[in-house]
Amino acid sequence: MEESKVHHIPIGSPIIKNDKYGIERNRLFSFGYWGNRKNIDILLNVANQLKKLITFSLHFAGSDHVFFSGSIEAAMSQNDTSKNSMVKHLGYLTKDHLYAEIGKATAIILPYKSTTGASYALNIAKAFGKPIIAPYDVGFERIISEEGGTINYYDQKDPEMLRNVLISILSDSKKMQIQGEKNRNSIGENTIGNAAIRYLEIMQSLV
């Protein structure tokens, strides 16, 4: 295929005014459908380790993936989160409530097993100007390389590495600020509206 006929169009990000949300100190947030491509177990495992080391809270939203019913309940039971007051499952949230939770968060964790379906969550976190923590994946690396921003990577099979990454982030407010600004600035022209206009231009050129 001719190179001129291949187009890369970012999925696009919403424009967020983050100043209307009050950020809460050391509040971690994660969201999505759990049990398929997202690993809730490692988050809850690490949360149990962190409660002995630093002051933090982990809020996660969403429900079980339709094909993985009971995933959240099983993970919470296995990691005995009833004894960890720093962990809270918020259930399914409407878009407004989801945005409010993201806005209040210090950092966003994207515990994807692969980057399939991850672009929306990544772009939302960037639009809010949040530091991002995610497992290393060539897909994430490619998105960051092409569209900008930064991610704090960990090995999804290594809870200790995730624990150390979270401690490093939460203990350095200047680092969080720099990363948040870099992620917000990376949005640039990659908004949902501009993505739609670009799609339309390409389709019209084919008529």
Domain map of the chain by residue range? Answer: 21-205
The predicted pLDDT at position 135 comes to 94
In tens, the pLDDT along 121-157 reads 898 999 999 999 999 998 889 888 888 899 999 998 9
Backbone φ and ψ for 97, nearest 5 degrees, come out as -70, -35
| Residue 87: burial class (beta carbons within 10 Å; 0-12, 13-18, 19+) | buried
The predicted pLDDT at position 57 comes to 94
Euclidean distance between CA atoms 11 and 28, whole angstroms: 25
Euclidean distance between CA atoms 86 and 117, whole angstroms: 28
- Residues 6+ away with beta carbon under 8 Å from 109: 28, 29, 30, 43, 132, 133, 134, 166
Distances 189 to 12, 13, 138, 163, 180 between C-alpha atoms, Å: 9, 9, 24, 34, 17
Distances 195 to 8, 18, 39, 141, 198 between C-alpha atoms, Å: 10, 22, 30, 21, 5
More confident: 161 or 70? 161
**Angle, helices 71-78/40-50, rounded to nearest 10 degrees:** 30
State the chain's maximal CA–CA distance in angstroms.
63
Token readout for 128 is 């809010």
Which superfamily, per CATH, for 21-205? Glycogen Phosphorylase B; (3.40.50.2000)
The predicted pLDDT at position 2 comes to 62
The predicted pLDDT at position 112 comes to 87
Band of residue 56 on the pLDDT scale cut at 50, 70, 90: very high
Q: What is the mean pLDDT of the chain?
A: 84
Residue 81 pLDDT exceeds 60: yes
The alpha carbons of the chain give a radius of gyration, in whole angstroms, of 18
The predicted pLDDT at position 80 comes to 86
The predicted pLDDT at position 110 comes to 94
In tens, the pLDDT along 154-196 reads 998 999 999 999 999 999 999 999 999 999 988 876 666 666 6
In tens, the pLDDT along 30-55 reads 998 887 677 888 999 999 999 889 99
